[in-house]
């Protein structure tokens, strides 16, 4: 095993790590023994995640960056490499929603969602893969969504999340020969501020939204950020090197 492939010396970058699914992924990877760079728009918003990781004895660094901005991404990945070590794990998790029915969707709603999800995944992956290829080892995990299959009010988000599946498969094909895998996770209903905000926008009480959601989910509950973190932990592990280019739906049942 090379030093770069040793879990004890690996560095992971998790975008959108300040809260929600990204925070749970950051904590889980740190508990697995990786040094974790928690990247979010505002560095100070990462404090809670950082403190939780350090309280558990883990190693973490907060980096403020906009994943949709090329210069910001290049600077962030360089900072991580300098201060924490060359990244060999990247989790493209940062995301936003700008839901609207098509006839009301603005160009800004469309462009903002494309910028964070698609340009963000492209820019972060391009910047991080240099280090992975040099090390001959890498793991990229991208957050897609069940909305990639189509969802009312989410033409922008559904297109972006379907696009993430396409870039994931392409990265798997291009980077496989360098020991780098790329996979996507497509979560269903996960309890976070994002889904709470969606419920609020629809004029629904969040507890009621979760209860109604759980009724539609075969395992009888909505998901928690830790459900997704557990899957990320597997996909970035040493032993997952023959799993690449996959989209794994984590939705408490099959989605059609
Ligand atoms: P969340 O609670 O809204 O957290 C998203 C995080 O991403 C926030 O900390 C946000 O920062 C950050 N972020 C937004 N734009 C960014 C940018 N340009 N650069 C850097 N960071 C940025 O969302 P979540 O529910 O945890 O979702 C995480 C991922 O899972 C997203 O990609 C989402 O689309 C996907 N997903 C979620 C669900 C679900 O049910 N929750 C289901 C399927 C897929 P600010 O707070 O500063 O905006």
- Per-residue pLDDT reduced to its tens digit, 12-37: 999 999 999 999 999 999 999 999 99
Q: Ligand 1 within 6 A of 251 CB?
A: no
Closest CA to 38 of 1, 11, 57, 69: 11
Of all residues in the chain, what percent carry a pLDDT higher than 70? Answer: 96
Evaluate if residue 6 carries a pLDDT over 70. no
228's CB contacts (< 8 A; 6+ apart) are: 21, 24, 25, 143, 185, 187, 190, 250
Nearest CA to ligand 1 atom 47: 41
Nearest CA to ligand 1 atom 29: 93
Q: How many CA atoms lie within 13 A of 159 on its CB side?
A: 16
Q: Ligand 1 within 6 A of 143 CB?
A: yes
Q: Ligand 1 within 6 A of 135 CB?
A: no
Evaluate if residue 3 carries a pLDDT over 60. no
Closest CA to 228 of 6, 17, 10: 17
Q: Ligand 1 within 6 A of 50 CB?
A: no
Task: Give the mean model confidence (pLDDT) for residues 226-230.
Answer: 98
What is the CB neighbour count within 10 angstroms for residue 56?
11
Closest CA to 35 of 3, 15, 57, 64: 57
Distance (Å, whole) CA 33 – CA 99: 37
Q: How far is the CA of 18 from the centre of ligand 1 (A)?
A: 9
Residue 1: pLDDT band (50, 70, 90) is very low
Q: Ligand 1 within 6 A of 122 CB?
A: no
Residue 9: pLDDT band (50, 70, 90) is confident
Q: How far is the CA of 1 from the centre of ligand 1 (A)?
A: 34
Q: What is the mean pLDDT of the chain?
A: 96
| Ligand 1 atom having least distance to the Cα of 16 | 7
Q: Ligand 1 within 6 A of 195 CB?
A: yes
Determine the residue of 25, 40, 67 to mutate for testing ligand 1's pocket, defined as the one with the most ligand atoms within 8 A of the Cβ atom. 40
- Identify whether 157 is a catalytic site residue: yes
Evaluate if residue 122 carries a pLDDT over 80. yes
Distance (Å, whole) CA 182 – CA 57: 29
């Amino acid at each position: 095993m090379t030093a770069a492939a040793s879990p004890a010396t690996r560095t992971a970058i998790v975008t959108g790590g300040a809260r929600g699914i990204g925070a749970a992924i950051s904590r889980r990877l740190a508990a697995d023994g990786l040094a974790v760079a928690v990247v979010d728009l505002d560095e100070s918003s990462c404090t809670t995640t950082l403190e939780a990781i350090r309280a558990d004895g883990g190693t973490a660094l907060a980096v403020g960056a906009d994943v949709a901005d090329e210069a910001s991404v290049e600077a962030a990945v360089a900072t991580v490499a300098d201060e924490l070590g060359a990244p060999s794990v990247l989790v493209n998790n940062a995301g936003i929603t700008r839901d609207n029915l098509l006839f009301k969707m603005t160009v800004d709603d469309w462009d903002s969602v494309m910028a964070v999800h698609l340009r963000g995944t492209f820019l972060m992956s391009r910047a991080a893969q240099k280090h992975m290829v040099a090390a001959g080892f890498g793991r990229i995990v991208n957050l897609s969504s069940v909305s990639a299959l189509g969802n009312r009010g989410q033409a922008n988000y559904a297109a972006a999340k379907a696009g993430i599946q396409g870039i994931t498969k392409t990265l798997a094909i291009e980077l496989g020969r360098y020991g780098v895998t790329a996979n996507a996770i497509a979560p269903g209903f996960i309890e976070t501020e994002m889904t709470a905000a969606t419920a609020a926008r629809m004029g629904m009480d969040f507890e009621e939204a979760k209860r109604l959601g759980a009724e539609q989910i075969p395992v009888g509950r909505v998901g928690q950020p830790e459900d997704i973190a557990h899957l990320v932990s597997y996909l970035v592990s040493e032993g997952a090197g023959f799993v690449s280019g996959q989209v794994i739906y984590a939705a408490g049942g099959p989605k059609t």
